[in-house]
Chain A
């Protein structure tokens, strides 16, 4: 089955700096890579996703890159703000959101004022 590794487990950055979280996956048939943000006590919410026919996708301060050859994908957050503090999870699946997702273990992002 699929295995998703996520690094780092904790990331502390100064407000206004950039943050990068990296994931690798093992199943070459995976073609959907979502990122979820989970604030303390709240449900995970999708913030951005990418499919295997695309190398990069941006949404305002958030971007995701995908390298299918190396089987890794990354989340980039620029100009970080206090409200970006949360746990971020990467995931992978073979059939988009219609399939069970395999998640990484999560990254606790801390934005220092």
Chain B
């Protein structure tokens, strides 16, 4: 059974703080993804990674960076949090190749005040 976990379910941070969101998967998946989910906007891709130390920009990378030092862990970094980054953040992972689905983590609801 695939398990994707995220470090926090709820997080409250102040404007200007550096924020780390962590995602861990236990199924040896090569691909990992970060999305943000906002009401009425669906899920939007921030960054993704096909392998350790590799990263690709998604549709809305501005204000974010990522780190993938180990295969099972993918971190999303908000260098200087702003109120417009208040959102639900969802991590996902999948096996390499086109035949496999993406599995999502439970999400982290981040509030920036």
Q: Are the CB atoms of A96 and B42 closer together than 8 Å?
A: no
Q: Are the CB atoms of A101 and B102 closer together than 8 Å?
A: yes
B interface SS class: loop
Q: Are the CB atoms of B45 and A98 closer together than 8 Å?
A: no
Chain A count of residues within 8 A CB distance of the other chain? 27
- Please give me the residue from chain B that is nearest to A96 by CB atom: B98
Q: Are the CB atoms of B107 and A43 closer together than 8 Å?
A: yes
Give CA–CA (A31, B95) in the complex, Å. Answer: 17
**Chain A CB within 8 A of B74 CB:** no
A60–chain B nearest beta-carbon distance, Å: 18
Give CA–CA (A36, B42) in the complex, Å. Answer: 11
Q: Are the CB atoms of B43 and A101 closer together than 8 Å?
A: yes
B37–chain A nearest beta-carbon distance, Å: 8
Can you name 6 extra interface pairs (CB under 8 A) apart from A43-B107, A102-B59?
A43-B106, A96-B100, A97-B31, A97-B94, A101-B33, A101-B45
Give CA–CA (A92, B58) in the complex, Å. Answer: 14
A12–chain B nearest beta-carbon distance, Å: 18
**Chain B CB within 8 A of A100 CB:** yes
Q: Choose among B40, B42, B44, B100 the residue that contacts A98 (Cβ–Cβ < 8 A).
A: B100
Give CA–CA (A90, B59) in the complex, Å. Answer: 17
Write out, one digit per residue, whether chain A residues 90-113 have a CB within 8 A of any chain B CB (1) or not (0): 010001111111111110000000
Which residues of A sit under 8 angstroms from B105, Cβ to Cβ? 43
